[in-house]
Amino acid sequence: MSTPITKRCITIALLALILIAAAWAWQRYQSLLPSRTASKTAPQSVNWQQVRIDEVHVYKSQRQVRVLQNGQVIKTYAMRLGFTPLGHKTTEGDGKTPEGRYNIDWRNPNSQFYKSLHISYPNAADKAQAQARGVSAGGDIMIHGSSNLPQGQPKQALYDYLPRNDWTHGCISVSNQDMDELWRNVKNGTKIEIYP
């Protein structure tokens, strides 16, 4: 038979375990959210006339796009992802942003979301896995701006706007201001590596 002290010790131990589990779950949940401090890109002075971007790295978990020259990070941009950001894109409409090595293969100056740089997803492996499952791998994955400015609206009104949460269908969204800089300095054929 349990004594009142034993019951109290068991109750305290159970409450402690529940609090530990809740704290762990909260920390895990917070780690999956976009960083609140990454919503604005810190000003970084770059002399673009002396730089030739040869690679773009995308870090999904950090919500960052980094442009590199000869392996050195030249500038970092805040970004947002597809509405289901975890994991590699495998199916059209899954809301995921692909992971892996691709290229910037063409661009659209009249994109639905300001301007856009096309990522060469799906590659042969992406197509093969989708075909084996009898589904479409999807496509039209871009780096693009965050808003299409209506005619006559002052450019600055939404120029540096970046939504707080992930919102695309799998694309990588940056502010229009950052998109202009990427548009000018990331050429077609540039390698892009997208990390989890």
Positions marked catalytic? 144, 171
CB 185 within 8 A of CB 67: yes
Cα-atom radius of gyration of the chain, to the nearest Å?
Answer: 22
The Cβ of residue 42 has, within 10 Å, a number of other Cβ atoms equal to 9
Q: Following DSSP, what letter does each residue of 87-155 receive, concatenated?
A: S---STTS-PPP-EEEEEEEEEEEETTEEEEEE--S-HHHHHHHHHHTS------EEE-S--PPTTS-T
